[in-house]
Structure 1
Amino acid sequence: MQPLIFLLLALTLCVNAANSTNCRCFPGDPCWPSFQDWADFNTTVGGKLISTVPIGSVCHTRGDSSAYNEHACANLIADWGFPATHYTTFASPMASWFANFSCDPFMPRDSPCTITSLQRYTVNVSGVQDVRKTIQFAREHNIRLVIRNTGHDYLGKSTAPGGLALWMHHLKDTKFLDYSSDSYSGPALRLGAGVQGFEGMAAAHAQNKVILAGNCESVGIAGGYSQGGGHGQLASRFGLAADQVLEWEVVTADGQHLIASPEKYSDLFWALSGGGGGTFAVVMSVTVKPHPEVSTASANLTFSGACVSADVFWNIIRNFVVDIAPLVDTGAVAIWAVIGKTFTLTPISWPGGTAEQLQNGLASTLALLEQNKINYAYHIQQFPTFWDTYAAMNPHSNITEAQVGGRLMPRSVLESTPSSLITALRGIAELGVVVSGVSLNVSRSPVPYNAVNPAWRDAAISVVLGTGYNYTNREENVKCQSLMTDVLIPPLTAISPNSGAYLNEADWKQPDWQKTFYGSHYSALEEIKRKFDPDEMFYARTAVGSEAWTEQSDGRLCRA
């Protein structure tokens, strides 16, 4: 019997060892680095290692991370909706779903404050060596590694339970260049990985130029925004943010410091330009094409359907969506939403267009409002520059606490069966769901050499849906998430079966996400992922290659 016992023990140890290699090392595991290991690593990165303390700790009296302060807690709750509350920290995800109530300021103060849903440590990156050393440490200790910038992230790609984060937020350098390559010669703007929309636009404006940036001015430009495609109010005139990229400065999983362009490491350049962030390499900077400033016409419109029938209300919306198509095809972008019985246009901007042309394009919608005696708020103006338009007409964006889902609506739907789209959107809105749309046309010829989902080139509207978020009831949020996946998105998919979704504004539980987010490019992207990250150091939810992993209920990342 004794040999059998030893044999069983040996087999158990072998199985445990095998299982341990299938998962990233997690806090509490024997493989987790000691305090001294972390201290030594901190020395190698010049003291830039930060131990996670959730910002909600000031609202709790229990738990390892609790640090209750009544005044600080009140201020935190008051400022919670402002993006700066989160992007100035290294740990707080703006999509609270992914914090999983681990240290929620809205929960009772005697509920425990833990860090189970967040990364344990973060390196505040200031240069290439910080990235190299962090990747090496994560590799040596088999730790989950994530890349984080501002935290604007509906899909939890920059959240790593029990992991280690590279915080790129303070790489703020901007530099104008006279750029020359086989594919482009002219002015260029190099942006550090941490440069946000308002900063990049200001740098461009100082040179009487414009660049692509998001409608939310605090979103980082070089991160998941441009790497995932990136739309904005200049997209119909110039294309997506990924279309503007001239080169990427990166650190690869094996520590190489490379410049990827159409001429050199062209496959990596192609993948980074639209193939999604957080999975191919760590971006240190991006160089983009700026464009000359341009006079811009812009308008805002708000009206309510409370005093008319739902049929009348939705017929006006249908008229608006269809009738602005010619404006969109000549360079305009419209950002609109339906919340309950209220429609808002905030704004429609037409770089290169005139207020008179814009007024003519909106005339039929305004006429319907007048005919149905619907009061509305409306403002239209010609601005000397896009910069002025953006400052005056684009509302400041707060964080979106919602379960998000999306779909790209092809032009064929708008042209041939617009009623099917409106019927679907109406049914969704009448369930109490926020319906928003960005009407645009990014099909400019020639189509740039990049990995942007081909569905973008045929899209007339990027539709994004949002269900409610409950700060104190996880079960309600689970129901809302299931509603998005099982009920809300399918009708939109049914009328656009060959289209896809914008991978940055979509349901993180989207079935068949590989095809939906990446289209026909996915297999090529997988090959590039294997080439530049063969050991799968970089993981992000729904990013290329992520299906090889699964996240356990405690946040542990294991091979599928």
Structure 2
Amino acid sequence: MAPSATFLALISTLVILTSPAHALPNAVAHRDAQDSCHCFPGDACWPAPDLWNAFNGSLGGRLIANTPIAAVCHHSTLFPYDAAACSVLQNTWFLPQTHFDSSSSMMASLPTNNSCNPFLDASAPCTMGNYPVYSVNATGPGDYQTTLQFAQAHNIRLVIRNTAADYNGKSSGAGSLALWTHHLKSKEILEYRSNGYSGTAFRFGAGVQVTEAYEFSLAHGHLVVGANVPEVGLVGGYSQGGGHGPLVSRFGLAVDQVLEWEVVLASGEVVVASPDSAEHADLHWALCGGGGGTYAAVLSATVKAHPSLILSTANLTFALPPTAQSPDAFWEGVRVFVEHIPAINDAGTQAIWYVEATAFNLATLFAPGFDKTALDALMQPFLDALDRLELPYSYASEQHPGFLEGFLQQPGTGAANLNIGGRLIPRTLAQSNGGSAALTAAIHSITSSSGVVFSGVTFNVSNHAPEHGVGINPYWRETIFSAVFGTFFDWTDWEKNQRSADTITNDLLPHLERLTPGGAAYLNECDFQQADWKTVFYGANWVRLSEIKSKYDPNGVFYALGAVGSEGWTQQVDGRLCRAT
């Protein structure tokens, strides 16, 4: 079925503000916001329609009055109900492009707070909830500056969003104005010279997505480090938060690639931050792993170029046979795989794998620079172990004509339909006496909980840290895989989702925390309820990152859940952001 005109209009990337009726969506009882809180729709301090219209004019008509894309599924004041459009939306809801082409939608489920759910009855409420009230379709530094000025002048919560490929809703917020960077698609190849790097580089605008970066770099005979997911924005929270992917064991994390950042500060000043910068080397350091949407609004990043490589891939599955008398052989197979991870990583390859109940799926093993024969040789010791265990398995490998062809053939990922928790797993655990057995036992305990899926993304970035240093948690350098597990979201039982989130925090994640005392989690793939998040996300870099945050954003203009500086704020029941007391 082709999308209806109503649906296409709703997800249009340029919904221009034309009606004062859009000025107060999700209005609450009028009240004056206290000085310690951001102004909120319905407050006397909330800008009147003529101010929003004037703001829109100053942006050349690029202000968007947001409506949740699921409004077509409800009888509400936000948008007319359209059964045909709703059916289309329900059928495409779990596709990333449904959300990244929207100025307000979120790929993650729980942060929506059930405010406009396309899978509930049409009579269910649909409100703005945690969606940004307005978004600015930014096209350059002038739009950034105008937006920053307006948000601060009217004490409005600001969020930065690109594709919204974010598990924890950092790019959204109730009563917020979003700086939408998705259409900053500039791409440039250049020869770069600095104290730490001389050679070919690429400069990408803040809205460039991973596949676009791969395509452009390969068209010029090179590769850049990017994510496993094609739709992720390269320059946004991905690179600012760490950034793993199929090439990181060969070339380092995304944060290890950034030669310079072009940003707009909260003050409106446009600066270029690099390790050689006399004034802003500290900002470069913080942006390289200290978290997105925190220190400045990024316009572009210049990253290292690497030689183009061939690519081979493999996949493997095995499961507990129906006739098995005991699950022991299956879990021994998982343990042997865990033991094999260092060899996979040290070869410069990457494995993405899953365990659910008593089924194991190595969905993709990326082997850049490997032909099929070399990849099969790398995997043979593990296959021999499965044979000894008499575990039936399915294994296939393929050498691709080029990197991009192989990358795009791999299983895709949809919009985040999980409540998740995460932990970085150190090499010492997998290689210690009894460590692989203890880790496998933890995976067994986690997946024994009904409906839980455990996944791992492997890498070795121990030798790729730039000499000038980066702000990412140092724990990454001793990590062999990022463990992420979760429960599937239930779109018709919100209380169940909240219980699942609490189960992850209180019951499941502790299995890994006990094995990794003083450990860490990837701030882009984490439990949003992580209690000791300052240490877990930022480690030994917390103090310096906090100092840099105070230097460049003393008034806390930039905020995101779990970001440096977020400890200075609390979120109220209605979503309003207030200063912590």
Shorter-chain TM range is over 0.9
Q: CA deviation at 1:381?
A: 2.2
Could you give the per-residue CA deviations for residues 281-315 of structure 1, whole angstroms, max 9, x where no partner exists? Answer: 00001110110011233211122224233211111
- TM-score, normalised to structure 1, is 0.94
Task: Specify whether residues 446 and 133 from structure 1 end up closer, same or farther in structure 2 by C-alpha distance, changes over 3 A only.
Answer: closer
In the alignment, structure 1 segments of 5+ residues that lack a partner are 1-15
Residues 235-275 of structure 1 deviation map (CA, whole Å, 9 limit, x = unaligned): 10001001000110100000001111001110000000110
- Residue matched to 2:7: none
Deviation at 1:134, TM superposition (A): 0.6
Judge conservation of contact 2:372–2:397 (CA < 8 Å) in 1.
yes
Instruction: Answer yes or no: is 1:42 the counterpart of 2:59.
Output: no
Match of 2:109 among 96, 118, 125: 96
Q: Match for residue 106 of structure 1?
A: 119
Residue 325 of structure 1: how far off its partner (Å): 1.6
Q: Which residue of the partner structure matches residue 357 of structure 1?
A: 374
2:117 aligned counterpart, secondary structure: coil
Q: Deviations over 1:199-235 (max 9, x none)?
A: 0100011012111111111000000000000000101
1:387 shift after superposition: 2.5
Q: Distance in 2 between matches of 1:162 and 1:306?
A: 53
Once residues 354 and 361 of structure 1 are traced to their aligned partners in structure 2, the CA distance between those partners, rounded to angstroms, is 11
TM-score (norm 2): 0.91
1:266 to 281, 287, 296: 281
Residue in 2 that maps onto 1:342: 359
Given candidates 302, 308, 320, the residue that maps to 2:337 is 320
Q: Please state if 1:399 is matched with 2:415.
A: yes
Q: Distance in 1 between matches of 2:223 and 2:130?
A: 39
Q: Deviations over 1:96-116 (max 9, x none)?
A: 211111111101101121112
Letter in 2 for 1:110: S
- Pair 1:137 & 2:150 matched: yes
Once the two structures are superposed, the pairs formed by residues 71-82 of structure 1 within 5 Å of their partners are 71-82=84-95
Determine what percentage of the aligned residue pairs are the same residue: 45
Cα distance per residue 1:446-470 (max 9 Å; x no partner): 5451101111000011100111211
**Where do residues 27-426 of structure 1 align in structure 2 (5 Å cutoff)?**
27-61=41-75, 63-264=76-277, 265-307=280-322, 308=324, 309-392=326-409, 394-416=410-432, 417-426=435-444
Corresponding pairs, count: 542
Aligned residue identity for 1:236? S
SS of the residue corresponding to residue 22 of structure 1 reads: coil
* Partner Cα distance (2:232, 2:369) in 1: 25
1:430 deviates by 1.2
Alpha-carbon contact 1:66-1:112 (below 8 Å) kept: no
Asked whether the 8 Å contact 1:240–1:442 carries over to 2, the reply is yes
Pairwise CA RMSD? 1.4
Write the distance in 2 (CA, Å) between the matches of 1:499 and 1:256. Answer: 37
2:454 corresponds in structure 1 to: 435
In structure 1, the residue matched to 2:16 is: none
Superposed CA offset, 1:312-365 (max 9, x none): 111111111212422311211111011222211121122223433322332233
Partner Cα separation in structure 1 for residue 344 and residue 423 of structure 2: 22
How many Å separate the matches in 2 of 1:320 and 1:328?
12
Q: Is the 8 A contact 1:301 1:379 kept in 2?
A: yes
Gap change, CA 1:446 and 1:216, over 3 Å in 2: closer
Deviations 1:72-128 (A, max 9, x none): 000000000100000000111111211111111101101121112211111000011
CA contact (8 A) 2:148 2:268 kept: yes
**How much does 1:389 deviate?**
2.5
Q: Is the 8 A contact 2:99 2:107 kept in 1?
A: yes
CA distance in 1, matches of 2:346, 2:170: 33
Letter in 2 for 1:130: D
User: Secondary structure in 1 aligned to 2:481?
Assistant: strand
User: Which residue number in structure 2 is paired with residue 7 of structure 1?
Assistant: none
**Kept after mapping to 2: 8 A contact 1:327/1:358:** no
Counterpart-to-counterpart distance in 1, 2:83 and 2:358: 39
What SS does the aligned partner of 2:34 have? helix
**Greater shift in the superposed pair: 187-196 or 335-344:** 335-344
- Alpha-carbon contact 1:219-1:225 (below 8 Å) kept: yes
**Structure 1 counterpart SS, 2:128:** coil
User: Conserved in 1, the CA contact under 8 Å of 2:251 and 2:464?
Assistant: no
Letter in 2 for 1:419: A
- Which is worse superposed, 208-217 or 383-392? 383-392
CA contact (8 A) 2:256 2:464 kept: no
Q: 2: distance between equivalents of 1:442 and 1:410?
A: 12
Contact 1:147–1:167 (Cα < 8 Å) also in 2: yes
Q: 1:293 to 1:224 in 2, by over 3 A?
A: same
State the Cα distance separating 1:499 from its structure 2 match.
Answer: 1.9
1:494 aligns with 2:511: no
8 Å Cα contact 1:146-1:163 kept in structure 2: yes
CA distance in 1, matches of 2:421, 2:57: 43
Cα shift at 1:173? 0.9
Matches within 5 A, 1:480-519: 480-519=500-539
> Can you list the C-alpha shifts for 1:423-444, whole angstroms capped at 9, x where unaligned?
0011101113110001210111
Shift of 1:373: 4.8
Asked whether the 8 Å contact 1:324–1:361 carries over to 2, the reply is: no
Structure 2 residue matching 1:111: 3-state secondary structure = coil
Whole-angstrom distance in 1 between the partners of 2:108 and 2:269: 32
Instruction: Name the CA distance, whole Å, in 2 between partners of 1:113 and 1:163.
Output: 17
- Residue segments in structure 2 that go unaligned for 5+ positions in a row: 1-30
Cα contact 1:306–1:341 (8 A) shared by 2: no
| Paired residue type of 1:349 | F
Deviation at residue 551 of structure 1 after TM alignment? 0.6
